[in-house]
Amino acid sequence: MSEEMNEGIRLAAMGMGLVFCALLAFMLILFALRQFFPGEELPSEDNEDNPDQLKYRNPDNLYMTDNGDNQMKPEHDRTNPTGSNKAVVALAISTYLSMEELDTYKSEDGNAHSGWSKQSRNNVIDNQGARPDSFNEKPYSRYFPQDKTR
Amino acid sequence: MSEVLYGAFPDITIGAISMIAIALIMIYLGVSKNYEPLLLLPIGLGVLLANLPSTGIADDDGFLGIMRKAGLDNELFPLLMFLGVGALTDFTPLIQYPATVLLGAAAQVGIFASLALALFIGWDINNASAIGIIGSADGPTTIYVSTQLADPDIWGPIAVAAYSYMALVPIIQPPIMRLLTTKKERLVKMAYPSRVTSYKARVSFPIIVIILASLIAPKSAPLVGMLMFGNLLREVGVVDRLAKATQNELINITTIFLGLTVGSTMTAERFLNTSTMEIFAIGLFAFAIATVAGILFGKVMYYASKGKINPLIGAAGVSAVPMAARVAHKLGRDEDPNTWLIMHAMGPNIAGVLGSAIAGGVILGTLA
């Protein structure tokens, strides 16, 4: 075996050893950091003694119904499932409430209208009666192509 | 006179035409196939510009030559890239699952196995080490080490091999992962943490790593230092402007410069030879061995933890952030759509970045 080959094998053995030692040291430091600076408990409806808590934290069980069946499985990644789940619910509720907020004025029929009807009315006015754009398709021009203006 | 009449057409060679074709393939793969477009597009354009005859763009006094001397010959660009990578990296999964750090170490076997293979084939030890570092699956580390150890003729092929195989991780890894794991192992669902990661832990970690890594492998200090400095900017929360600058402007500008300059080293006389083929073959071997080592160590942890750790996440130890972690996650989901491994796989994935920087530092400390 040549001198260079020997040197290479020595380098490989030493290199792997040092990489393992370094990452082992990092691992111990990480355990120590977790010990010294423990983070807050993840928010959960369940209390600490409840054995179902682990189930709740596991993203597979986030959408469990009362009888334990998985009914709905979202397709997106959920790296922080508990937080994102609540955020989505909060967003949905906030949107719903803002749309349900009644107008301060009353229409001719004397009834108050919610944001939904106001938005529908605005959409009709904005579209000028044109057909709405299809989802994921190129919009149809509302303008005549002759004048080439948009 | 002929230059005025015929332009550069008389100077064009078969080699230059071949390199222009390779440049166009790189641009095509980046743009149409989405294979690492951020790197393959600038590298491809660098190759194209450097091989257009009679332009002098890639000569020492050409603009690509000036950029190469300013940032590649002195290893500045890879370090700036690492600063941006650090600012983009979230070490939380590593702090949440400390044991997965060891998977990042196991995957570095690819570096040293391919180093031995390159030596066996007949490369000298400096070039063999630079070729072996392709197994780190980490672009900046590969370029940083190769520019210090290897002949300038092989800088380009090494960088292109590293980035090409990183883009091909979803093709290279899955067959190996399926071959080495059983269905039962792939179906393991790992528990999620019960606590969030504390601010103090996230801020302390980069500082401790800089000190410790510099003491263990002093030559890794520039790489680890920049990586962790970038991460510190992200985590401290009081220098958002700097964190955003490193995550966006700095890394984007450096990517353009690094890609163009690496591409400019790939001229026909340097690239079109059997050495390039050997480098690509050894690079593929390095990726495969790194995956095998990661998976096998994952299996060890699976048995040691009595079936609580899914061995698929071991393959994520090869770096290639975040592609390798996504591959592990996808393979788990292929077996059972209810399996979610992405968070767990990010731990070894990030540990792989740290491990490869330390491996590079050890090699440089021994040979440079």
User: DSSP readout, B226-259?
Assistant: HHHHHHHHHHHSS-HHHHHHIIIIIHHHHHHHHH
Binary contact (A18, B362; C-beta < 8 A):
yes
Collapse the DSSP code of B69 into the 3-class scheme (helix H, G, I; strand E, B; otherwise coil) and give the result: helix
Query: Would you call B290 helix, strand, or coil by DSSP?
Result: helix
The whole-number pLDDT of residue A150 equals 46
Taking only the tens of pLDDT, chain A with its 150 residues reads: 688 889 999 999 999 999 999 999 999 999 999 889 988 777 665 444 444 434 444 444 444 334 444 444 444 444 555 556 667 777 777 766 666 555 444 555 555 566 666 666 666 666 655 555 555 555 555 555 555 554
Question: Which of A2, A3, A11 would best serve as a mutation to test chain B binding (most B beta carbons within 10 A)?
Answer: A11
Q: Quick one: pLDDT at residue A40?
A: 79
Q: What is the pLDDT of residues B50-77, one digit of tens each?
A: 999 988 898 889 999 999 999 988 889 9
Give which of A20, A30, A35 to mutate to test B binding, by max B Cβ within 10 Å.
A30
Residue A122's pLDDT is what? 66
Answer yes or no: are the C-beta atoms of B319 and B294 closer than 8 Å. no
Contact B192 A57 (CB under 8 A): yes
| Predicted pLDDT of residue A51 | 44
CB-based burial of residue A7 (10 Å sphere; 0-12 exposed, 13-18 middle, 19+ buried)?
A: middle
Contact A15 B362 (CB under 8 A): yes
pLDDT at residue A14, as a whole number = 92
Spell out which residues of chain A touch residue B98, defining contact as CB-CB under 8 Å: 27, 30-31, 34
Residues of chain B with pLDDT under 70: 1-5
Q: Looking at residue A47, what is its pLDDT? A: 45
Place of tokens 């408990």: A41
Nearest C-alpha of chain B: how many angstroms from A16? 7
Q: What is the pLDDT of residue A118?
A: 65
CB B157 within 8 A of CB B276: yes
pLDDT for position A69: 42
Provide ipTM, 2 decimals.
0.86
Q: Do A60 and B189 touch (CB under 8 A)?
A: yes
| pLDDT at residue A106, as a whole number | 52
